[in-house]
Structure 1
Amino acid sequence: MGQWWGEESITIGIPALVLLGLIMACWTAAAAWTLFTVRRRSLTSRKDRLRLLRMVRMMDEAPGLPMIIRADGRIEASDRIADWFGLETLPRTIHDLAGSDARGVSVAEIDDLWQHCRRTLSSAAPFRLMLHPHAKGHALSVTGHLADPQISRGGAVLVWIIDASDSANEIARLTDDAAKAHADFAALVGLIEAAPIPMWFRGLDGRIRLVNSAYVAAVGAENAEEVVSGNVELIETTDGVSPSEVAHQARDSGHPIERNVMVTIDGERRAFSVSDLPVGSEGVAGYAIDVENLEQLSREYRAFRGAQRALLDQLSSGVAQFDSLRNLNFVNLPMQRLFRLPSNIGQEGVPVGELLNIMRDAGRVPEARDFPAWRREKEAWFTASDATDEEWVLPDGTHLRIVAQPMPDGGLMMIVEDRTEQLQLASARDTLLRVRTATLDSLFEGLVVLAPDGRLQLWNRRFAAEWSLSEEFLGSHPHIETLLEALRPQLASPGDAQRIGMVIEAATLRREQTGGRVALADGRTLALMGMPLPDGNGMLTSLDITDSQKAEAALLERNQALIEADAVKTRFLANMSYEFRTPLTSITGFAEMLRDGVAGELSDTAKEYMGAILESTARLSDQIESVLDLTQSEAGLLPLAQEVIELMPLVTRLVHDRASQIEDARLTLNLRGDRSAGTVRGDPRRLARALGNVLDNAVASSPHGSRVNVDLRRRRDGAHIIIHYQLGAEGAEAELARQNAGLGLPLARELIEAHDGKLEFMQHANQGVTATIKLP
């Protein structure tokens, strides 16, 4: 433990009364010596006798009395001493001075006195001790030395006894006070030394004189002497003012100075509350309390309060906080909007009464006949024992719920909830419930809603009529088992009741949609459907499909006939296409032979006619091929080759094949793409036919002077071929486009879908069309 204040001892000097007693004892001894001298002289002289009487009288009135204690224990003294010892007469021996508890001196003290006397007789050593008679409560100071042989030839001890009661009491009191002061000082030093906070004391010169162990540890010194000798400061100079200068200011003003400063301890900056206390004219004491945790809590509280107020600003409810003086100290944004308050009102400390006046001026409080009385009622919120809940209806029809919650510190929190929309929604809900009931009653299906526990919740009149159930029975909200028992007599097969229960169970418990049909005993057929509802309930609907079932059977028969007719049509078209192809091939072959001069040279007119014949047969052959591919594709019989096709070369070839057609239409075709478009697997001939049909449609549909854009792109889902063009062709070109669209585009779609692709068209507001071909 460090050293505080240094080691000091308290020495109590001999009081003045004790000194006075010693002086009197000396004076008495001188008088006794004179008496003995006079006794040795001749007493014949009257003058000497008178002098002797005066001396005896002086000795009797002296504060100290002599007593002779001989070697055999006999004593000689004045009778006055007996009164000091609390005895009536002077005893003969020293041991008789020891009396009972009420008289004399204790046996231990008399024995101690006798031992000192014997030691003095043997060694001539003087002694001094204190006696304490029982009766008088006196304190007798005893001083003894060897008596002169002239006084007692057989050897004796002359003892001087002085009544030191007052001095002893004073000495005892001072001794007790000194012991107590020493104990208190030691306790104070120990307390200061054990204090966990740094403490120090400065002299009048401002230098550190004393420190405790906490100070030594805080500055990282070895001991207190090192701190004092080096005047090591714990507190740094702040704003140009050193710690010693602050101590001088406290000494000069006579008042403590407290301040918060940052102190570096063990390499960590912490906040300390430092106090300098003037200690009279001795110097200035100081101590430092670590308030870093308090500062941290304060910072956290400020951050929490800021976060809380930011959160309150995000609420839809208005919140206002009042302090113990009933002044407004916070209002959130919804509160400002609800009551149309100024934006800075929460910073002005407005009293609650004045706030109500502002609300009234803005028309945001209920109409009151006696507004001052109404306002006083609201001020009573602060003294209420519980929260107050009120409903305010404002002049504009706004409904507000006001909750006033008194706070433990005497303040108040006011929470405002705008319930206008809630009330409107409640009214709308009531209306919706009535509309729902009317809607359900007007449905063609019978309908019931059952809870997961199997209880009937809701039904419509159609259900009651279909199953011949009474309103009283349904109004009792029967369990599903009871409901099925009521439905069983209506069924053609009683076992169907179990099927209905399974449909209801799937909808309510398994949350699955199921259905089925049941036949009634009266010949009707009902279609059942069980559906889970979002609120956890299940709905069962029943629809009379007796008539629709008959119509369905008729439609099935008709549909079967149509399917057979479509198959006949498909076979007819396939056969006709094949039959057309053979004579068309012969016509094309003979026409080519005539054109080449096999039958002789033709005239120019004949050659022109022959070219027209070949062009028409080529077009007809193409149409027949399209019809054949289309019919085979619809029938799922179209054979496709599986080859790797490079898209960019394929599209480039298709564009080059139509160069003359594009030039004749005075169009501009832009082809954008490269080898990154990649490859696809499919039939090159049929894929080229599909892409060519789409491109032909774009060229034929575009007006003269327009532009056709063809883009090839590779996406995650495959290759995209995008053809963008404008609509607006007129005359023969438009007619040709419509013809091609009538057969070419459906064939293109079929061929592309046969390659697992997709053909999409999108028409824009500016008469633009985008055809997108997606191939995997």
Structure 2
Amino acid sequence: MTAKLQSGGTDDQAPGHAGDSVRLKRLRSWLAAGIALPAVFPAPARAAEDVAKLSLSTLDVVNFAMVIGAVSAAMISAIWLIRERGRTDAENRELRASLADANARAARYQSLIIDRNRRIIIWEGVGVPAEILGTLPPEIGAPDEVEGFLAYSGWLSPTSARALESASEKLRSNAQSFDITLETNTGQVLEAQGRVAGGRAFIRLVALSNLRAELAELRTERDRLLVSVDLLQNMLDIIDMPVWLRDADGQLRWVNEAYAEAVEGESRQDAIDRKLELLGSATRERIRMSVTPERPFLEKVSTVVRGHRRFLEVADVKTAAGQAGLALDVSEIEDVREELKRTLGSHSDMLDQLATPVAIFDREQRLQFFNQAFLKLWDLDTAYLERRPDNGELLEKLRSLGKLPEPHSWRDWKEQVLSVYRSVDTEPQLWHLPDGQTLNVIANAHPLGGATWIFENLTEQVDLEARYNTLVRVQGETIDHLTEGVSVFGPDGKIKLSNTAFRSLWGLTEAETRPGTHIREIANLCQASHDKADGWPLLTSAITGFDEDRSTREGRLELNTGLILDYAVVPLPNAQTMIAFVNVTDSVGAERMLTEKNEALRKADALKNDFVQHVSYELRSPLTNIIGFADLLSTPTIGELNDRQREYVEHIAASSSVLLTIVNDILDLATVDAGIMKLDLDHVEIPELLEEAREQINSRLKESSLQIVIRDEQAPESMVGDHQRLKQILFKLMMNAANFAPEGSVIELECAREDGEVVFRVSDNGPGVPEDMRETLFSRFSTGSQSGRKRGAGLGLSIVESFVGLHHGTVMIENRVKGGATVTCRFPLNPQVSRDAAE
């Protein structure tokens, strides 16, 4: 056992067994104590004898038991420790063998990984730096250090760097694997694979070579071509030109948005699926027969686009794989070309209609165009001009015919005229022709060569200018002899001209009103004659003000000298202003005198009206009493009257009634004259109106055995008017007719509708109206020389005229052919609802 412990002690020196050495030392101490026990405790036999001889205490027994227990525990522990030590040694030997194998395998794997054509990036977890294994070839241009290598944009192309960064982020965050091809800044191709395994994310970058590199390059080139094709298709979708691709069989393979819109397809694919063709079958057949790889189809064709006929410039090319074509809408260009053609034609027609001669020469100085006025001016042969002579030849031709001025040096003059083709700025020239005409010759050089010659005939203008100057002198003489004061001022407020009357009215001298004198100076000189604030300051502001509305102003000035002047400020062309003064002193005096007389007459008329109204109202009350008492005396209950008394009472009642009628008529006229009478307009039933008028006059007509005949077959049902006033009009007319109608005759009352008016006619068979009475027939208190059956106050027809006028109607009287007279009153069918008498 000692030998085993010693050998074990030797093993305890091995690494990893420090805890076992401590336990062994503790066990040795326990065993040393056990060996020393026989020396302390005698053998059992002797112990028994000693027991018999000695008596043991309880404490000794307890100590002995503890020693025995400790020894036993130490022996058990030693046995367990020896067994565990053996098992641990066996496990250690197995672990050492496994570690050696693992190290050998790791070395082999490391040698496989660390290759010059491959590099791996490993991430253990979040926040743990990346570990990089392996190397890439130097021509790749990838840095060796970790920081530089992970900065992809430093050694990869921008597109590849963005793709790798995006794929790495998705790999580490979402465990999304990827396989992509990268391109370095040096043009090398790499293959990148991203995977997640065992909680680790790693990216393997492999440098491709030979076939794989070529395949990767082809893929890269394919991606580049796809991007280019996609960009090209997007660009073709943007342009406003239909583009199409066909396969070898002539079927549509691709179209752009403009093509789909032109054929009214819902989308590009819809146009392809439905085989919607932009060009007609005849055009497509012509393209198919004429287009070859060496010779494309280039023509302008006509087709229908979105329901409208359009002109397209079509280009179609052919290859072994198919055909491609595009179309440019040139309809607007054709329209512009046609419009230009029409414009040039109309321009020529317009120039041909001008009265001003025009000739156009091209850059070679040959005649291109001339109008009829040019032909008429120079009286040349049309055939000669159509041969397009040059400008110099034309001048020589006109000189030979004696139609050009003959200068001192013909050659210099001709050179000066033709210098317009070499000059930038040209000036008009005056040609005085031998026949007395004066021409203003204007030559405009064209930017691209050539010139346009305009021959403006100034002969009439020169004559007009001479006549104008003469007219100005005549007008000056005329203005100087006017009785009205006239002065003309320019837009700067300075006087242009003035006449003698103007200076005489304001007491000015000719030197003080010389042209160029400002209006303020003239106003200061005139202020002594007129010191009111609204005089010359107002005239000055009217001339020197900045009002946009230049209107005529009129007014009146009273001078301190006693003169009264009417002035008028009249705007003239060219922003000039004329001030005219008229001496109205005499007319104003006469006007004031007439005004005073008119005011006196007006007051007298007002006094008359007041008197009439007062007297009329004062008479009505006693008349009413007289009529009342006369009716009371005629009543049998008061008492019987003899025949003479009854006759007197009847005369009193009749005379009082007549007098009351006259007073009422006077009151009505006074009310009309005062302008306070108002009509009670309403819808009047015409049959009812006629019947009431007949009933009102029936009692008056029985005395003369007269009859009333009403004719209302063509009368309207109603009209708008004052019922009481209309009835009063008809009563007055029938009373007037009854006064002149023979006894036993018939008075006709007719009503009809004529031209939107209601017409009332009252006719009698009397003597008619004399011609000398027609003008005064409707005058007040006019009874005429011919009296009727009863002589009245002469107010009946005057009241009729006034009431008809209030209804905006007219009244007239005319003699009948068979004798008698007819009074006609015309009323509007629907006048305004309310109308005041004062109006």
TM-score by length of 1: 0.46
Larger radius of gyration: 2
Bigger relative CO (Cα 8 Å, ≥ 6 apart): 1
TM-score by length of 2: 0.43
